[in-house]
Chains A and B, each alone.
Chain A
Amino acid sequence: MNRYLIKFTKQGLVRYTSHLDMMRLFQRAFKRGNIRLAYSSGFSPHPKISFAHPLSLGFTSSSEYLEIVCAEAGEPSAIQEALNRSLPHGIHSTRCKEIPEPGKTMASLVRWASYRITLPGADHPGGQQFLEYIDQPVLIGKKRKKGSKELVDVDMKPLIHNATVVSDDASGLSLDVIVSAGSSANLNPEVLLQSFLDSVKRGELFPVVQFERTELHDETMISLWNIFS
């Protein structure tokens, strides 16, 4: 036992820390909070801690997941409090609970991710344009090939589950999308947005687009938090 699921948020400038930075940052936070993690056995032991799904550099999130195995049993609420005392500004745990062990890793359960995409300001393409764009029978995006600068085509159509327009007015355009996430199929919403903006000849807006992850789901669209309840 002693396996815990932790939900946390990432807001503000700290969104510019990478996945690797976050890994280091949480390991240190647990150490600071005096929460003793279990270590893997073997040649170079490392603490048992893993994120459900990496978050792109620059994205905020209201719904990140981390699982840990502790060296000793503890109250989830105590773990959460100790962690919150130890985390830097902008990262905050909202929930923590014990989950069965052994079990599949969170990372292997993730299939879909929800994002809120915001284009601030009055000058933006319309929400309807976006819906029409993704409604096309074939939807090709450009994705950077791993480890190189080369762009490759990616068929985005099967990777988009759902899209809705949240608001579309002078204060900005706000969209909710649910797209594939995980090791078998994955769509970074940046690729989707870049393709859309390019298609309506508004590529210059891309640097101001804000991305926030709002949930991670398994294949049946259940949020990770609810899988174990």
Chain B
Amino acid sequence: MTLNKQLELLLPKVEKPARYIGGELNTVSKVTEEGMTRFGFAFPDTYELGMSYLGLQILYKSLNDMDSVFCERIFAPALDMERELRSAGLPLFTLETKTPANELDLLGFTLQYELSYTNVLNMLDLSRIPLRSCDRGETDPFILGGGPCAFNPEPVADFFDFFLIGDGEESIRQVCELHQQWKRSKADRNVFLSTISSLPGVYVPGFYQPMYDEKCTVSEIKVLNDSAPARVTKSVLSDLNSFDFPEAPIVPLIEVVHDRSVIELFRGCTRGCRFCQAGMIYRPVRERSKESILALADAQLKSSGYDELSLLSLSTSDYSCFEPLALELVAWGRENNVSLSLPSLRLDSFSFQVLQEIQKYKKTGLTFAPEAGTQRLRDVINKSITEDDIFTGVKQAISLGWYTVKLYFMIGLPTETKEDLDGIVNIAAEIMQLARQGGGSGKSNRFQLSVSISNFVPKAHTPFQWVAQDEPHVFTEKHMYLKDRLKKLRGVQYQYHGSDASRIEAVLARGDRRLSDVIEQAWSLGAKFDGWREHFRYDLWLQAFDATGIDPTFYTSGTVSTGTVLPWNVIDSGVTTDYLQAEWESAKGEVQTQDCRLGCTGCGINTFTTCPMEGSQ
């Protein structure tokens, strides 16, 4: 029986079987030929999450545009499907041709969040591929990883044959071209790895060996292969307009998390928030031209039939010609019955005008991200939003008829005191006060404020890569402190993240290579879908630390960052360590650093690529 037939017998038994069937609009099918590079794009979470990820659409197109490459998709099966696959003895398969994953040449995992690492192992296991690269043989696929977490790949280094650091759309093609040559040459695996290790953005962890001192911090990273560079610089796509963006995205048959057409407005961010890894590793800012965006909107509509378009970036209103673009898109959307969604807007008066236009009838909620409760702490984290900005924005929102507002804060930020927590409560109280004054109509009574609190996780390649994270019990005390005070405010809802999961995230975010054992142990004890509150099992992680003799506090306290070199030092993000250090000093001095559109702040990215937005305003 073919895998397809066997699969059909399982589908009636599982929830949302359409997750596993493939056949969506705009998927690619190719006649498979000997000599072709068969690539599996693996997303280590469910179909609904993976299909909402723009990078998948970009890389799927980038690879399938090559005649000699066939890229197919693989997602983590939900728990019920995993049970069925295991009991039927079936391997994990691609959606396009239902090919077992272990028959592919390259299997690439996108690493979007640390808490998906156990899912990577589970997917390898379901694919019957040895978990560790050192155990893989000549017939096994090469396992590669990319995405933001690849900027500190050390905790999962033992499971991957190589990583692609930085923008993947070009480097992944180069890798496939070299794979073709290697395949024809019939040389062994190591020859391929050796060849690609000299490409920019390619990190082959097997060619590097971290050395530890008596404190277990890294003293040196030895390079074991002549072609591997001492430091791997990230790949940078210097001009977004020069690379074809998907005009015909895959349209899922079932509802996914973000069920809409998406166009990337720009990559990178000039704001320089000190906690934000994305703001550091995606530098420099590169914008897509307005003409290209409008043309893509039209092309995507024609090929997908979506009735919603979203523009993606780290800070939408920072786009250079945001006003003309927004006005043209609003007009275009009205004509084509397409609604627009513009996330991450800074709420100045123009943005309001646009929002007012696009949300004439249905007003979805407004979101602000002050991140910290006082100006002092916002200066520490370099978040330029002021209380005045928030209150003016909310006042305007209320007068225009909005009645749901959401605020994002982080707790556990460096130098935080009780005053900063009180600041969160004060902002919420002030907004409720404004709502009571501003309404007049019955609507003010249903004004809802939602306060969402996340736990600060220090990340590699940021100015806060040296600092300690709060202990889980401290987070919990702070949550209770806030909860007690916020619940007294009528109309305020309070949401927060689990402290234990944030701790594991922090361990993995600044982890070294010794953590591979912990991750494998946690997975073998049953940890998976750790990013899902209902599936996360802190007890299994604690058992795994115990069994491997590794102390999580070593990582969360920041001791890990006190060695001669940082564990992730081999990865060069383009932003210099000197800059990060200076930013950390400024943070301690409560001094803000300006948006670098106003003038270069010397992060170092312009020494290896052009920085087009530098001092552009």
Contact = CB atoms under 8 A, between A and B. Distances in A.
A17 B25 CA distance: 13
B362 A44 contact: yes
Contacts of A161: none
A16 B18 contact: yes
Contacts of A34: 302
Contacts of A24: 255, 259
A13 B361 contact: no
A174 interface: no
B21 A207 contact: no
Interface stretch (B152-160, B182-190, B304-312, B370-378): B304-312
Nearest to A208: B9
A21 B253 contact: yes
Contact of A31 (B8, B18, B301): B301
A90 B307 CA distance: 23
Interface in B299-345: 301-307, 337
Contacts of A88: 23-25, 251, 253
Given A88-B253, A208-B9, A16 B305 contact: no
Given A43-B361, A208-B9, A21 B305 contact: no
A214 B369 CA distance: 55
Given A25-B253, A32-B302, A39 B21 contact: no
A27 B251 CA distance: 12
Contacts of A12: 23
Contacts of B251: 28, 88
B13 interface: yes
B305 A58 contact: no
Interface string B1-29: 00000001101110001100111110000
Contact of A207 (B12, B17, B22, B362): B12
Given A30-B305, A44-B362, A20 B255 contact: yes
A31 B301 CA distance: 8
Contact of B254 (A17, A28, A43, A89): A17
B306 A21 contact: no
B305 A14 contact: no
Contacts of B21: 13-14, 16
Interface in B16-64: 17-18, 21-25
A61 to B, nearest CB: 16
B305 A27 contact: yes
B23 A13 contact: yes
Contact of B11 (A16, A21, A29, A31): A16
Interface in B254-310: 254-255, 259, 301-307
Contacts of A29: 305
Interface in A73-94: 86, 88-90
Contacts of B302: 32, 34
B55 to A, nearest CB: 23
A28 B308 CA distance: 11
A90 B23 contact: yes
Contacts of A207: 9, 12-13
A14 B21 CA distance: 7
A18 B9 contact: no
Interface string A11-55: 011101110110011011111111000010001100000000000
Contact of B17 (A16, A20, A25, A208): A16
A69 to B, nearest CB: 14
B304 A28 contact: yes
B361 A44 contact: yes
Contact of A17 (B8, B9, B13, B18): B18
Contacts of A17: 18, 253-254
B12 A58 contact: yes
Contacts of B18: 14, 16-18, 21
Given A20-B255, A32-B304, A13 B24 contact: no
A18 B254 contact: yes
A223 to B, nearest CB: 28
Interface string B343-368: 00000000000000000011000000
B540 to A, nearest CB: 30
Contacts of B305: 27-33, 86
B443 to A, nearest CB: 15
B139 to A, nearest CB: 29
Contacts of B24: 88
Given A44-B361, A207-B13, A13 B8 contact: yes
A18 B361 CA distance: 29
A18 B255 CA distance: 10
Contacts of B12: 58, 207
A89 B25 CA distance: 8
Nearest to B13: A207
Contacts of B362: 44
Contacts of B307: 27-28, 31
Nearest to B305: A28
A172 B205 CA distance: 56
A78 B287 CA distance: 41
A14 B301 CA distance: 22
A42 B24 CA distance: 33
A11 B277 CA distance: 47
Contacts of B337: 31, 39
B23 A28 contact: no
Nearest to A12: B23
A14 B17 CA distance: 10
A28 B306 contact: yes
Contacts of A31: 301, 305-307, 337
B37 to A, nearest CB: 25
A18 B337 CA distance: 24
B358 to A, nearest CB: 14
A90 B21 CA distance: 12
Given A44-B361, A207-B12, A32 B303 contact: yes
Q: Give the most central of B11, B22, B259: most A CB within 10 Å.
A: B11
Given A17-B253, A88-B25, 11 more contacts: A16-B18, A16-B21, A17-B18, A17-B254, A30-B305, A31-B305, A31-B337, A44-B361, A88-B23, A207-B9, A208-B9
21 contacts: A14-B23, A16-B11, A16-B21, A17-B18, A17-B253, A18-B18, A20-B255, A28-B304, A28-B305, A28-B306, A28-B307, A31-B307, A32-B303, A43-B361, A44-B361, A44-B362, A58-B17, A88-B24, A88-B25, A88-B251, A207-B9
Interface of A: 12-14, 16-18, 20-21, 24-25, 27-34, 39, 43-44, 57-58, 86, 88-90, 207-208
Q: Which 7 A-B pairs have the closest CB atoms?
A: A28-B305, A31-B305, A32-B305, A13-B21, A16-B17, A16-B18, A17-B253
